[in-house]
Amino acid sequence: MPRGWLLVGLALLVGVASGIGVADVALAHDCSSGADCLQTAGYITVISVAGGIIAIIMVLAGRFFGFVLPSPEAEPSEHRKPPPPDLPLDAIFELEPRGELKWDLRPPPSAQRPGTPPPIFAPEQDDSAAMACARMVVHRLTGQDVPEQRLRDFSSHMRYGYRRGLAGAGTSSRGLLELLNAVPTIHAEWRPGITLPQMQAEIEDGNQVVIPHQLPDGPHLVVLNRVQFPPAGDAVLTLDDPSLRGPSPELGAQRQQSNTWWEYWGDPDVVIVIRRVEPPVRSNP
């Protein structure tokens, strides 16, 4: 029931109670003397005036609450939420770690100009290179920029996900694989033993390749931009490295390495190849 009608009903109840009080006072006193009659009339007047004032106040309050403020029925409950905004399908992400958690990520449309290279996002934490790589991969395959904070928060609920300050968690290829596979429009897989020509073929097919390698202070992850094979000499790997200082604090930079470097410092058994797929169609029960 709306709050306004409830208070109006209470006002009527006060009026009825006042009437009953007046009747009780009248029955309890007789008019055998002038003083008794005067006293009884005073009681009746006080009760009637007080009841009328209370009833008027409650009617006015009922009108205010009933017509100025929304009733509970007009407010969305936890079981009846308003529909999502009208966004293109590519702007709606559901990161769903196989039933553990379900989020709707609605990132803003990409502001990247056509023909410009995709940005190399710098990690927002000193140990979140995997999250920066995930942000780059999702942006390049879907055109949408999911903030790293959302990716970190979501990954932290996963078994092998990001944990602030936990050694190796910010550069875990297993955690990156788990996070990327939670995006319905993306499929990521390890490609043990993949060669440099095969990596370049994946890139030319529009897929993304993330490669792990060792730094002096521990493991690191980068996105492979391309592999070039000159007629003579070593192959050249162009790496989009989130940890290199870029033109702004929010951006990383590119660096180039040779296939000799890759053979010595790289780990081809945990290279991740990521491609865009059609999201699964959910049938209504």
pLDDT greater than 80 at residue 104:
no
Chain-wide mean pLDDT for the chain?
A: 72
- Which sequence spans correspond to the domains of the chain? 3-73, 89-276
* Higher-scoring residue by pLDDT: 75, 187: 187
Global pTM value:
0.59
Q: Are 250 and 122 in contact (CB under 8 A)?
A: yes
Instruction: Classify 193 in phi/psi space as left (phi over 0), alpha (psi -120 to 50) or beta.
Output: left
- Pair of tokens at residue 186: 């993306």
- Pair of tokens at residue 208: 């993304």
pLDDT greater than 60 at residue 21:
no
CA angle 88-91-94, nearest 5°?
120
Residue range 91-113: mean pLDDT, rounded: 41
Output phi, psi for 144, to 5 deg. -115, 140
Cβ–Cβ contacts within 10 Å for residue 221, how many? 26
Q: Treating both helix axes as pointing N-terminal to C-terminal, what angle do 173-180 and 129-142 enclose, rounded to 10 degrees?
A: 30
Cβ–Cβ contacts within 10 Å for residue 22, how many? 17
What is the pLDDT, as a whole number, of residue 135? 94
Q: How far is CA 45 from the centre of its chain?
A: 63
* Higher-scoring residue by pLDDT: 78, 244: 244
Give residue-wise pLDDT tens across range 184-215: 889 999 999 999 999 999 999 999 999 999 88
- Pair of tokens at residue 209: 């390749």
What is the pLDDT, as a whole number, of residue 117? 78
What is the pLDDT, as a whole number, of residue 195? 96
When pLDDT is cut at 50, 70 and 90, the band that residue 105 belongs to is: very low
- Pair of tokens at residue 279: 């999201």
Give the helix ranges, DSSP H, for 68-164. Answer: 129-142, 148-155
When pLDDT is cut at 50, 70 and 90, the band that residue 44 belongs to is: low
What is the pLDDT, as a whole number, of residue 29? 55
What is the pLDDT, as a whole number, of residue 157? 79
Q: How far is CA 30 from the centre of its chain?
A: 75
**Mapping DSSP to helix (H, G, I), strand (E, B) and coil, where does residue 226 land?**
strand
What is the pLDDT, as a whole number, of residue 20? 55
Cβ–Cβ contacts within 10 Å for residue 65, how many? 18
Residue range 158-164: mean pLDDT, rounded: 74
| Whole-angstrom distance, CA of residue 163 vs CA of residue 182 | 17
- Pair of tokens at residue 274: 């990521």
**Close Cβ partners of 78 (under 8 Å, ≥ 6 residues apart):** none
What is the pLDDT, as a whole number, of residue 91? 37
When pLDDT is cut at 50, 70 and 90, the band that residue 242 belongs to is: very high
pLDDT greater than 60 at residue 3:
no
Q: Say what the alpha-carbon torsion angle 167, 168, 174, 180 is, to the nearest 10 degrees.
A: 90
The CATH label, of 3.90.70.10, 3.40.1370.10, 1.10.357.10, 3.65.10.10, for the domain at 89-276 is: 3.90.70.10
Q: How far apart are the first and last CA of the chain?
A: 34
Cβ–Cβ contacts within 10 Å for residue 67, how many? 10
